[in-house]
Amino acid sequence: MTAADAARTCVPACRGGFTCLSGACVSACNPPCPANQDCVEGGRCVSPERAELKQAVKEAVNELYEEERLERQARSVRRHDGFYARFGFNVGYAWDTAERGDVETTSKGAGGFLEWAFGGNVSNHVVFGFAFHTFGVFSPTTDIAGDRFEADHTAFYALLGIFLDYYPDPTAGWHVTTTLGVSGANIQVRDDENTDTGTGVLFGGGYDFWIGEQLSLGVSASLAYLSGAGDDFGEHRAIVPMLAFSALYH
């Protein structure tokens, strides 16, 4: 910066209502304000009392807005409200019976797979949305008309439907849940088997442990019943108790 530039620059900068002219702060109002008024931003002349009142109101509004913002944030932190997204995996045991004519097929075994749910609060305590529960038994014990089925096969069960999740205390972790929807059941020997859907219901409950402002880790127990879903072995009736572990954003 040259000496000429420095002479035209005001250091420190002029306060509101003034402008820098040849290195000096002069009134930004033209013509100059009367002796009982001050020049404010925008080149307007107002009385000192009015300028002070306006500034006080502005500061009060900003302070109120900030307080309300902090209160809203505090009410939402570690509280089950708003958007709901849960992802998890389960382990359990399946008992399944399928009937085709006079032939009964039974299958059972331990397994597990994935589940997810998306939704949102419809009240302070209730979450509504869509859930998908899947369960696979990769080495089931299967009998057909009393004879052991020795061929390699798997068993897979699924339930897709609407769910309700109820939290007695929105800030705590205890909750109970239910899902009702369409189900699938398949004792799979080959890839091109025919399958039909049925109906299913799941009841469960558990606890979510807060690990962040909106994030928690959960453990829950549930019992699913699937009926009417069919494959080459007939129409299935399956009972699947499960223990699930999940991550929840809520």
Calculate the dihedral angle through the C-alpha atoms of 62, 66, 68, 74, rounding to the nearest 10 degrees.
180
Q: Which residue has the higher pLDDT, 168 or 3?
A: 168
Q: Enumerate domains of the chain plus CATH numbers.
A: 3-76 (no CATH), 83-249 (2.40.160.20)
How big is the CA angle at 57 (ends 54 and 61), to the nearest 5 degrees? 140
Q: How far apart are CA 236 and CA 238, in angstroms?
A: 6
Q: Quick check: helix, strand or coil at residue 101?
A: coil
- Token pair for 34: 């009367």
- For the cut 60, the answer to whether the pLDDT of residue 117 exceeds it is yes
Q: What is the pLDDT of residues 122-167, one digit of tens each?
A: 999 999 999 999 999 999 999 999 999 999 999 999 999 999 999 9
Q: Kindly state the helix (H) or strand (E) to which residue 16 belongs, with its residue range.
A: none
Q: What is the pLDDT of residues 227-241, one digit of tens each?
A: 999 998 999 999 999
pTM of the predicted protein model: 0.71
Q: Quick check: helix, strand or coil at residue 191?
A: coil
Q: How far apart are CA 121 and CA 129, in angstroms?
A: 9
